[in-house]
Copies of this chain bind each other. A is one copy, B any other.
Amino acid sequence: MSTRTPVACLRDHVGSTVTIAGWVHRRRVLKSVSFLVIRDRSGTAQAVFANPPDVTEETVVRLTGPVVATSQGAELRDPTVEVLSTADKRPPFDLYRPEVSAGLPVVLDNAAVALRHPLLRRRFEVAAASVAAFRRALDNQGFTEIHTPKIVATATESGSNVFQLDYFGRPAYLAQSPQFFKQAMVGVFERVYEVGPVFRAEPHDTARHLAQYTSLDAELGFITDHRDVMTVLRDVIAEMATAAGPDAPFVPEEIPSIDFAAAQELLTQHTGEDPRGEPDLAPAHERWLCEWSEREHGSEFLFVTGYPMAKRPFYTHPDPTNPTKSNSFDLLFRGLELVTGGQRLHRYSDYLTALGDQAGQYSDYLAAFAHGMPPHGGFAIGLERWIARVLNVANVRGATLFPRDLHRLRP
């Protein structure tokens, strides 16, 4: 690689001749002087020309010339310009304007160029830093990273719709989560995590659902109950929050927690509705509870615990003091369910009872439990929802490089 100075470092080279390389972010031609703003992964810098160079915006160039100090920092003066590749088409909107002037469909249809806008690019820099933080928090607590199959033989995990594929002439399905595999691997490593794609043939066309998303999954053994899982999750979220830099949300030392039934009472008292008897929270109720949490506890994060067993998956561990309730939780953040988790069943006999006639379908899954499994639990964080909430992106698609949904299979 030829020597190249990051544009953000120009001011360290005042008085020298340097080479920079990047995209023509903006081109301005005035009467007596012209400017190119050059963008590389470090930022942007300006080059000044007596005669306007003949390049369009987004052309990839290499400039060599002297660095001169300016009131804002430093710029290149009359550098030589080498075109590395031309931009044959114009971007669908001006990438140099501070705000994104296009709507979401234009951005998504033109992701390869639209994401070059610094505001859009930043979402995915925060995503990368968030995933690194997730792993770092768990690595520090002795977790082992795993990679599990995304093609599975049976479509039995939950009520969600699954994608079916042709597997060498047989039907197979895309995994909706690594749930069964990560539980089995607690038997091997005690504490595991996986970062990977999960697939939902989600027929709902909402701002918070995707057909593929990145799931940050963790599972750990030798817990007392779900509260141990919540403690680990709180540390993970705190580490992930730092990834957002100046946008980092405040994560309290202890995230406030409300029991599901108590939440329903609150909603009944204060919203004029009566959700008691419902087995789950409606999106509007999640939003109300988040506002309540912020008002009452100063926390944008809120745990809801003790969901009714009726609405949780069969592997959920009941509350030993009240078996209609579960040792499960959701973590709400800024009005949205961000994380689901809880304690799982760990005894083989409990699985046989929970599954009844269906146990035969789950024989692969049950194998781990037949050989001794510790009390365990875990959680799954949706990466795109996290980014959307942290950076106030209205639609989760705006926090996905190339989203897939009911209508969108390209680019």
Contact = CB atoms under 8 A, between A and B. Distances in A.
B373 A85 contact: yes
A410 interface: yes
B383 A147 contact: yes
B185 A174 contact: no
A85 B409 contact: no
A409 B131 contact: no
A201 interface: yes
B170 A144 contact: no
B214 A149 contact: no
Contacts of A211: 151, 167-168
Contacts of A124: 144, 146, 188-189
Interface string A165-187: 11110101010000001001101
A318 B168 CA distance: 35
A135 B129 CA distance: 12
Interface in A366-411: 367-375, 383, 401-402, 404, 406, 409-411
A28 interface: no
A248 interface: no
A144 B121 CA distance: 11
Interface stretch (A45-53, A71-79, A190-198, A269-277): A190-198
A411 B363 CA distance: 9
Interface in A287-345: none
A229 to B, nearest CB: 10
Given A113-B187, A201-B168, A211-B151, A89 B374 contact: no
A167 B409 contact: yes
A364 to B, nearest CB: 4
Given A144-B124, A199-B151, A373 B168 contact: no
A141 to B, nearest CB: 11
B197 A153 contact: no
A275 B195 CA distance: 43
A208 interface: no
A223 to B, nearest CB: 6
Interface in A104-145: 110-113, 115-116, 121, 124-125, 127-128, 131-132, 135, 139, 142, 144-145
B116 A151 contact: no
Work out how many copies of this chain go into the complex.
2
Given A145-B132, A146-B124, A374 B21 contact: yes
B367 A87 contact: no
Contact of A112 (B1, B4, B60, B368): B368
B165 A166 contact: yes
A180 to B, nearest CB: 9
6 contacts: A58-B372, A85-B348, A131-B145, A149-B402, A150-B212, A167-B409
Given A41-B190, A87-B372, A124-B144, 20 more contacts: A1-B231, A4-B222, A21-B374, A41-B142, A41-B191, A58-B371, A58-B372, A84-B375, A110-B367, A112-B187, A113-B371, A116-B371, A125-B189, A146-B401, A151-B404, A153-B410, A164-B166, A172-B409, A195-B195, A364-B411
Interface of A: 1-2, 4, 21, 23-24, 40-41, 58-60, 84-89, 91, 110-113, 115-116, 121, 124-125, 127-128, 131-132, 135, 139, 142, 144-153, 163-168, 170, 172, 174, 181, 184-185, 187-191, 195-197, 199, 201, 203, 211-212, 214, 222-224, 228, 231, 346-349, 364-365, 367-375, 383, 401-402, 404, 406, 409-411
